[in-house]
């Protein structure tokens, strides 16, 4: 259990949002803010995915409740990076486990929000150095349903990527729960540890009630 706590703590650190101090990115953040606040009134905006809160919640419990007690506890949630990163916000009764009602309520929150997209700006570093030319993919947790699509981007020389996949005019990440994969191959060899790609432990929650919503999402990875 101690190691699982460490994983959760490490994820929290890796996903900590902070202001990206590059001036270009501050300008970009401003543009993204305009997109965010305007996305309910701008013609041609991408449509929200279809939400199925109860069905998604039941599917999540069916998949991750390994001991069959009807709840996903801290140990079980480690298998689901998207739920793990959002655990404190979903566990509203504070019993240190997620039940179907709590998960459904969180998905209902995404559905009811007046906005639908968070920032799509991501900054990735590996061992303290910006990681250029890396593929960054946000993969919706499968229980959210087929209308949620994976979205991705490639980092530039500063390690910054703009995530899109729905509509090039509206880069960003639909509110929801994701597992994130960061991959870079050099001479045919993966240079990022597999716990950040093939067996990723990186999770991300996009929602309107998380501080730093319009700031760059940072993943500070270490070997
Ligand atoms: Ca359980
Ligand atoms: Ca709970």
Quick one: which of 100, 104, 108 has its CA closest to 71?
100
Q: 119 CA distance to ligand 2 centroid (A)?
A: 28
The pLDDT value recorded for residue 171 is: 81
Beta carbons of 20 and 220 less than 8 angstroms apart: no
Q: Is the dihedral of CA 161, 142, 204, 2 positive or negative?
A: negative
Q: 68 CA distance to ligand 1 centroid (A)?
A: 5
> What is the residue-averaged pLDDT of the chain?
84
The tokens describing 128, both together, are 């303290």
What whole-number distance in Å separates Cα of residue 78 and Cα of residue 122? 23
Other C-beta atoms lying within 10 Å of the C-beta of residue 132 = 15
Q: What is the pTM assigned to this prediction?
A: 0.81
| Weakest-pLDDT range from 5-19, 139-153, 189-203 | 5-19
Beta carbons of 111 and 53 less than 8 angstroms apart: yes
Beta carbons of 136 and 153 less than 8 angstroms apart: yes
Q: 4 CA distance to ligand 2 centroid (A)?
A: 18
Asked if pLDDT for residue 29 goes beyond 90, the answer is no
Question: What is the SS3 assignment for 144?
Answer: helix
Q: 72 CA distance to ligand 2 centroid (A)?
A: 9
Q: 81 CA distance to ligand 2 centroid (A)?
A: 17
Q: 121 CA distance to ligand 2 centroid (A)?
A: 31
Confidence of residue 167 (pLDDT cuts 50, 70, 90): low
Q: 103 CA distance to ligand 2 centroid (A)?
A: 9
Angle 46-102-213 from CA coordinates, rounded to 5°:
40
pLDDT tens by residue, 118-138: 889 999 999 999 999 999 999
- String of b and e for 162-172 (b: at least 16 CB within 10 Å)? bbbbbeeebbb
Q: 73 CA distance to ligand 1 centroid (A)?
A: 5
The domain ranges of the chain are 2-49+113-221
Task: List all residues 6 or more positions away from 38 whose beta carbon is below 8 Å from its beta carbon.
Answer: none
The pLDDT value recorded for residue 30 is: 38
């Amino acid at each position: 259990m101690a190691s699982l706590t460490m994983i959760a703590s490490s994820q929290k650190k890796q996903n900590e949002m902070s202001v990206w101090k590059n001036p270009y990115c501050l300008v970009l953040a401003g543009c993204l803010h305009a997109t965010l606040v305007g996305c309910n009134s701008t013609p041609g905006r991408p449509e929200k995915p279809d939400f199925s809160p109860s069905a998604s919640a039941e599917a999540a419990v069916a998949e991750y409740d390994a001991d069959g007690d009807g709840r996903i506890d801290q140990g079980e949630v480690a298998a689901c990076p998207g739920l793990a990163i959002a655990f404190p916000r979903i566990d509203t009764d504070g019993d240190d486990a997620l039940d179907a009602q709590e998960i459904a309520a969180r998905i209902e929150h995404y559905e009811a929000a007046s906005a639908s997209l968070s920032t799509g700006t991501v900054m990735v570093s590996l061992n303290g150095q910006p990681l250029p030319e890396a593929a960054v993919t946000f993969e919706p947790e499968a229980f959210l349903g087929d209308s949620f699509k994976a979205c991705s981007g490639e980092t530039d020389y500063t390690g910054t990527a703009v995530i899109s996949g729905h509509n090039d005019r509206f880069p960003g990440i639909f509110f929801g729960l994701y597992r994130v994969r960061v991959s870079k191959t050099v001479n045919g060899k993966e240079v990022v540890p597999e716990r950040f790609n093939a067996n990723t432990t990186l999770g991300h929650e996009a929602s309107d009630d998380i501080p730093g919503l319009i700031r760059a999402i940072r993943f500070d990875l270490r070997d």
